[in-house]
Chain A
Amino acid sequence: MKRRIARVVGAAVLLGAVLVSWNWSAEKLPFGHECKFYKTLFDGQVQCRLCPRKCVIPEGKRGTCNIRQNVHGKLYLITYGKPCSIGVEPIEKAPLFHFMPGHRRLVLATVGCVLRCRFCQNWQISQAAFEDVPHYELTPEQVVAVALHEKVSSICFTFTEPTVFYEYMYDVAKLAHEKGLKTSMITSGYIEPEPLVALLKVLDAVKIDLKGFTEKFYEEMAAADLEPVLNAIKTVKKSGKWLEIVNLVIPGQNDDPKDMKRMCFWLKDNVGPDTPVHFTRFFPQYKLKSVPPTPVGTLVRAYGIAKAAGLHYVYVGNVPGHPLENTVCPHCGKTVIERQGFQVVKNRLKDGRCPYCGERLRGLW
């Protein structure tokens, strides 16, 4: 009898300890910074309005991005001021080829992402929980101070999906502009129009990963939809900010020539022939560990399709030393910017013009 009582009491104490610690850990997390785009629902839940998922988030829980949390009916960005990655890199690594070539950028990211790409290069932080990844404590002012100290020309929000740390990115970008620094964002484009329009006021350049051109690809490989990405591309173009598109070509998944042709014609019709498009080579990554690298022939074929569709600036990426990594004047066909990997070996542009024929090349030079 005594043993039974002891067992029951012990189990109750254990259960209580678990409940208390669970609640404690939920309460103890930093609230972060209140988010801008959300709506409080009648039952204490909130609906995030930042990305097309429009997560309905119960009390204490987080959205799909894993970093926007409902605390007492308000939505907070828990990674505000808490980046996990910061460094200085060449701008060509983005790749952004028509935006301050040869310059260096400060790269910044927090954990979190709204997509579930099976080929993510930075899955260790994009798919991680905030608690599992060490972070820095850097206010927007401190970030800008670091950028000025490192003498970079711009700050670039990258690695994970920057739109999910929207408020932090916005504040850093705004301050950066005030200090004369340019700003850029490397994104999947998975964001609602309203926040995107507001964000573009503090950005100078956006590179959007147009991962594929079928709903099937987006659904199966990224657990997302294509349509919002296309809308984001159009929104960026309409804003007048500099836009470049990257398509990571994955063998057997998004390398169908018909889809590529549709994509190229869509881009030409919706964002114009002067928007640079990069077809980059895939290497085994994350869950696609045994998928072969993209044949260079496939990339060259994609280049041909894009040029035939009328696009002026088309590049092959992740094939260092390939001539199609260089910038060529669309008018006279001469090479105006030579690259070797992430380095600009020679930049012959004169005030953004071809030195041979005088043609003005589009970009922020």
Chain B
Amino acid sequence: MDRMSLVCALLVVGVSGLVGQIVLLREFLVIASGNELVIGVFLGNWLVLEALGCFLAGRVWAKSARPAAAFALCQACFATALPVALYATRCLRVLCGVAPGEGLSLAVLAISSLALLAAVSVPHGALFALAGRMRQREDSGPKSAPDAGGMVYGWETLGTLAGGLILTFWLIPRFQSFRIVLAVSTLDLLFCALVSARGKNKRSTKSLVFYGLGAVAAAILAFGPAARILHRGSVQRQWPGSEVVSYDNSVYGNITVLKSEGQFTFLTDGEVATTSPVPDIESVEELAHFALLAHPRPEDVLVLSGGAGGLLREVLKHPVRRVDYAELDPLLLTALARFAAPLTEGELKDPRVSIHRTDGRLFVKSSARRYDVILLGAPRPDNLQDNRLLTREFFALARTRLKPGGLLAFSLPGSTAFLEPNLASLNSCVLQAVSGVFAAVRPIPGDTNIFLASDAPGLARLDAAPLAKRLRERRIQTGFVGPEQLSLRLEEQWTRLFQGFLAPVAARAGVNRDFNPRAVLHDLADWNAMFSPFAARIFSWAELLSLPRLAAVLATLLLAVLAWSGRRRRLSSWAAPLAIAATGFGGMVYNMTLAFAFQALYGYVYLWIGLLVSVFMAGAAGASLLLSYAPPNGTDGPLRGPSVTSAAARRSFILLEISLVIFSAALPMTFQALARSAVPDSLMKGAFLILGLVSGALTGAQFPLACRMRSPGMAALYSCDLLGGWLGAVVGGAVLLPVLGLQNVCFFVALLKLASLAFCAAALPLEERAT
């Protein structure tokens, strides 16, 4: 295959891989009611299966004379398996034999995602190794052979970048998932046909016809009514007994609307957000009325998230003048308007209500308005995004938007029977966060705990009598909250009980902060306790992790490996793969921490998150391609890479390792500096983009250098990169980030890179005889 065709094939591989991964992940999250752990498990399984495919292809087709045919076959397998995997994902509950809406345990999620992805990821991973083989066959002579790995890596990464941009900004807002994956399958099968067309024998002709017909069939399915039928059928299978009246994906997530006996249920990413016409009356009434009755004259109210579907209606029963309501996902508001009931119509069309389709935290930061009451209607913090409204930094920001005597209110899961330690820790870490900002915080414990926070002196002594008086004076009609309920909830017995639940866990709970999301950790632990007692035990051990302990473990491992390798001289060939794996881990962590830090500081703005991920990929692809296309003789100069002799590559490799250590250690300090600085937001966002580009470049640059060094081979290197990424997703993102916090997880990456640097320095001599 000529070079241009190979480049196009690699771009298609990158595009289709990324599109397939993200579409399946989004569907998986809906089924799994996704939290960070689920995302980590899915991404991790994708990567490990890709690594397996790459490794197997490297072995099976290492010396194949027809890698192009194998490439086409694997691509066809991927194209065929992708829509099947999508259908199977949507029917996962049925396949697992659980009830509609029932949660799945971590073990079931892990095993089922492996099974779902196997037929998709393994052939896709094989494409990398096969592309490398095709590249090597294309050039003759040993001088250009080291280019293969970097070149393949670079172009595929560029394809991934393109796929991400196309999917995010064009495909998701316009097309349903089946149409997207079938279109991708059509593209892949077309390329299979084109690859086969290059052959000049009977077998190639047969393959051409076969793949060509496959592409035609996929196109008919993609652009005809079949895609719609598959979509509707698979969605309805998730909810027997209910009518699925809407199933849409926005860039923020999935909104599903079910209809049953006159009730509309709105689910976001598989979790119930609200119902109409009758909401959860107890929850919405208690949050709204305790907060607004605690204020003598609530005129200006801000509701962040979760307002539509009852909470706004209760707020509007008070003599308020203006209600600002910020809701991130416009698709949810569109769905509520489309399936309107008197409840939602009344509250969303009330002239006092101003709706802002934006991230709640960003709204608070950018708005100069001040409020009497700020209500947080967000769900519990089971992911980093929702956690941002319950951190000390956010509470400090919200405090500046309150008028004198104003108060902030939110709710968290509670219990009058027993508050399990993880839930107690969740409540405690948020309570500690808010207590560090406001002069008075009044928890109102119950089956749902309500928290009122204010600088007003009377809050700590809040009594039921004035609340009941205001309820009467304001002539508010309620279904649940009456004078006796107010009195019952404010009884001393519940406060004593609540304090008793929190006291044993306060030290362990910590303070919930932007860069140390303790609430996510405790919420994940609670989820594990419900669905995966085994994972719960692992989580409880994980909470004992600290940076010094991890450093000790790394140091011990390094010493043990070095001591053992002293007797085995062949370990030098593993220096590069281990370093690549560590960089793969670090690259995943950089990606996550950049997006996470950006969200924490600036809010969830999808365009910017997409841009951050894109510049990371662009940096990785650019650096990889730059170093791959360094001319064989290697000349010094700003635009040309280092000398491509093996010794020069080793020196550059070690320098790169040092750069990664320094970058990892400096990253959290950079975030802190950005958080404290007073420069305009646009400049700081630009700084984030630069950080993304640099982290991507450092990550991507290592691969082509490693290909020039003695190693088990390009396929093995790629597998190590993917395995490192897998660990980064599962362990780094889902466990270490909530446990250690952003700063310490970056320091951990620095330590990891330091360990790999030490190993490389010990295992690889800097000077070597020229080959």
User: Do these two chains interact?
Assistant: yes
Q: Which of A85, A133, A159, A252 makes the CB contact (< 8 A) with B100?
A: A252
Name the prevailing secondary structure of the B interface residues. Answer: loop
In the complex, are the beta carbons of A252 and B241 less than 8 A apart? Answer: yes
A295: chain B residues at CB < 8 Å are: 260-263, 278
User: Given that A252-B241, A288-B102, A343-B485 are known contacts, is A89 also in contact with B416, CB under 8 Å in the complex?
Assistant: yes
In the complex, are the beta carbons of A296 and B263 less than 8 A apart? Answer: yes
In the complex, are the beta carbons of B531 and A287 less than 8 A apart? Answer: yes
Binary CB contact string for chain B from 485 to 499 against chain A (1 if under 8 A, 0 otherwise): 100100101100100
In the complex, are the beta carbons of B278 and A122 less than 8 A apart? Answer: no
CB distance from A340 to the nearest CB of B (A): 5
In the complex, are the beta carbons of A290 and B416 less than 8 A apart? Answer: no
A151 at the interface (CB under 8 A from B): no
A125: chain B residues at CB < 8 Å are: 417-418
Complex alpha-carbon distance, A133 and B421, angstroms: 9
Interface window among B433-441, B473-481, B586-594: B473-481
Complex alpha-carbon distance, A288 and B242, angstroms: 16
Q: Which one of A123, A124, A220 has the greatest number of beta carbons of chain B within 10 Å?
A: A124
Residues 273-322 of A at the B interface (beta carbon under 8 Å): 283-284, 286-293, 295-298, 301, 318-322
Residues 505-539 of B at the A interface (beta carbon under 8 Å): 529-531
B99 at the interface (CB under 8 A from A): yes
B351 at the interface (CB under 8 A from A): no
User: Given that A87-B493, A118-B102, A321-B281 are known contacts, is A289 also in contact with B33, CB under 8 Å in the complex?
Assistant: yes
Complex alpha-carbon distance, A85 and B260, angstroms: 37
A87: chain B residues at CB < 8 Å are: 416, 493-494, 497
In the complex, are the beta carbons of A252 and B479 less than 8 A apart? Answer: no
Complex alpha-carbon distance, A118 and B485, angstroms: 29
Complex alpha-carbon distance, A65 and B100, angstroms: 27
B99: chain A residues at CB < 8 Å are: 118, 220-221, 252-253, 288, 291
B64 at the interface (CB under 8 A from A): no
In the complex, are the beta carbons of B488 and A90 less than 8 A apart? Answer: yes
Name the prevailing secondary structure of the A interface residues. Answer: loop
A342 at the interface (CB under 8 A from B): yes
Binary CB contact string for chain B from 254 to 288 against chain A (1 if under 8 A, 0 otherwise): 00001011110101001110010010111001000
Q: Which residue of B lies closest to A292 (CB)?
A: B265
B240 at the interface (CB under 8 A from A): yes
A133: chain B residues at CB < 8 Å are: 418
Residues 15-31 of A at the B interface (beta carbon under 8 Å): none
CB distance from B509 to the nearest CB of A (A): 16
B488: chain A residues at CB < 8 Å are: 89-90, 342-343
A251 at the interface (CB under 8 A from B): yes
In the complex, are the beta carbons of B278 and A319 less than 8 A apart? Answer: yes
Q: Which residue of A lies closest to B240 (CB)?
A: A252
Complex alpha-carbon distance, A90 and B418, angstroms: 18
A88 at the interface (CB under 8 A from B): yes
Complex alpha-carbon distance, A356 and B274, angstroms: 41
User: Given that A296-B278, A341-B479 are known contacts, is A288 also in contact with B103, CB under 8 Å in the complex?
Assistant: yes
B415: chain A residues at CB < 8 Å are: 122, 124
A251: chain B residues at CB < 8 Å are: 241-242, 260
B631 at the interface (CB under 8 A from A): no
In the complex, are the beta carbons of B263 and A290 less than 8 A apart? Answer: no
Complex alpha-carbon distance, A166 and B242, angstroms: 41
A357 at the interface (CB under 8 A from B): no
Q: Which of A252, A286, A296, A341 makes the CB contact (< 8 A) with B480?
A: A341
In the complex, are the beta carbons of A298 and B261 less than 8 A apart? Answer: yes
B463 at the interface (CB under 8 A from A): no
Q: Which of B100, B416, B504 makes the CB contact (< 8 A) with A291?
A: B100
Q: Which residue of B lies closest to A344 (CB)?
A: B484
Please tell me the number of chain A residues within 8 Å of chain B, measured between CB atoms.
46
A345 at the interface (CB under 8 A from B): yes
CB distance from A159 to the nearest CB of B (A): 5
Q: Which one of B101, B103, B260 has the greatest number of beta carbons of chain A within 10 Å?
A: B101
B33: chain A residues at CB < 8 Å are: 289-290
User: Given that A288-B103, A341-B482 are known contacts, is A320 also in contact with B420, CB under 8 Å in the complex?
Assistant: no
CB distance from A78 to the nearest CB of B (A): 17
Residues 305-337 of B at the A interface (beta carbon under 8 Å): none
Residues 29-53 of B at the A interface (beta carbon under 8 Å): 33
Q: Which residue of B lies closest to A301 (CB)?
A: B261
CB distance from A95 to the nearest CB of B (A): 14
Q: Which residue of A lies closest to B487 (CB)?
A: A343
Q: Which residue of A lies closest to B263 (CB)?
A: A295
Residues 448-494 of B at the A interface (beta carbon under 8 Å): 478-482, 484-485, 488, 491, 493-494
Q: Which of A84, A88, A90, A321 makes the CB contact (< 8 A) with B479?
A: A321
In the complex, are the beta carbons of A340 and B102 less than 8 A apart? Answer: no
CB distance from B522 to the nearest CB of A (A): 14
In the complex, are the beta carbons of A343 and B101 less than 8 A apart? Answer: no
Residues 241-293 of A at the B interface (beta carbon under 8 Å): 251-253, 283-284, 286-293
Q: Which residue of A lies closest to B526 (CB)?
A: A124
In the complex, are the beta carbons of A292 and B478 less than 8 A apart? Answer: no
Q: Which residue of B lies closest to A126 (CB)?
A: B417
A341: chain B residues at CB < 8 Å are: 282, 479-482, 485
In the complex, are the beta carbons of A283 and B280 less than 8 A apart? Answer: yes
A220: chain B residues at CB < 8 Å are: 99
Binary CB contact string for chain B from 665 to 681 against chain A (1 if under 8 A, 0 otherwise): 00000000000000000
Complex alpha-carbon distance, A290 and B282, angstroms: 19
In the complex, are the beta carbons of A88 and B263 less than 8 A apart? Answer: no
Residues 328-344 of A at the B interface (beta carbon under 8 Å): 340-343
Complex alpha-carbon distance, A181 and B226, angstroms: 68
CB distance from A116 to the nearest CB of B (A): 13
Complex alpha-carbon distance, A173 and B516, angstroms: 49
CB distance from A16 to the nearest CB of B (A): 23
B260: chain A residues at CB < 8 Å are: 251, 292, 295, 298
Q: Which of A90, A134, A289 makes the CB contact (< 8 A) with B504?
A: A134
A109 at the interface (CB under 8 A from B): yes
User: Given that A253-B99, A292-B260 are known contacts, is A320 also in contact with B281, CB under 8 Å in the complex?
Assistant: yes
CB distance from A342 to the nearest CB of B (A): 7
In the complex, are the beta carbons of A252 and B417 less than 8 A apart? Answer: no
In the complex, are the beta carbons of B504 and A320 less than 8 A apart? Answer: no
A109: chain B residues at CB < 8 Å are: 417
Q: Which of A134, A292, A340 makes the CB contact (< 8 A) with B263?
A: A292
B102: chain A residues at CB < 8 Å are: 118, 287-291
Complex alpha-carbon distance, A288 and B271, angstroms: 10
Binary CB contact string for chain B from 727 to 764 against chain A (1 if under 8 A, 0 otherwise): 00000000000000000000000000000000000000
Complex alpha-carbon distance, A125 and B415, angstroms: 11
In the complex, are the beta carbons of A290 and B101 less than 8 A apart? Answer: yes
Residues 383-434 of B at the A interface (beta carbon under 8 Å): 415-420, 423
Residues 92-129 of B at the A interface (beta carbon under 8 Å): 99-103
A296: chain B residues at CB < 8 Å are: 262-263, 278
CB distance from B393 to the nearest CB of A (A): 29
B241: chain A residues at CB < 8 Å are: 251-252
In the complex, are the beta carbons of B242 and A292 less than 8 A apart? Answer: yes
Binary CB contact string for chain B from 560 to 604 against chain A (1 if under 8 A, 0 otherwise): 000000000000000000000000000000000000000000000
A159: chain B residues at CB < 8 Å are: 417-418
B494: chain A residues at CB < 8 Å are: 87
Complex alpha-carbon distance, A345 and B272, angstroms: 32
In the complex, are the beta carbons of B271 and A293 less than 8 A apart? Answer: no
Among all A-B residue pairs, the 9 with the closest Cβ atoms: A321-B479, A291-B101, A320-B480, A295-B263, A297-B261, A292-B265, A252-B241, A124-B420, A320-B479
**What are 16 A-B residue pairs whose CB atoms fall within 8 Å in the complex?**
A124-B418, A252-B99, A253-B99, A284-B271, A289-B33, A289-B271, A290-B102, A291-B99, A292-B260, A295-B260, A295-B262, A319-B479, A320-B479, A322-B479, A340-B479, A345-B482
Known: A292-B260, A292-B272, A297-B262. 12 other contacts (CB 8 A): A159-B417, A288-B99, A288-B102, A288-B103, A295-B263, A296-B263, A320-B281, A320-B478, A321-B479, A340-B482, A341-B479, A342-B485
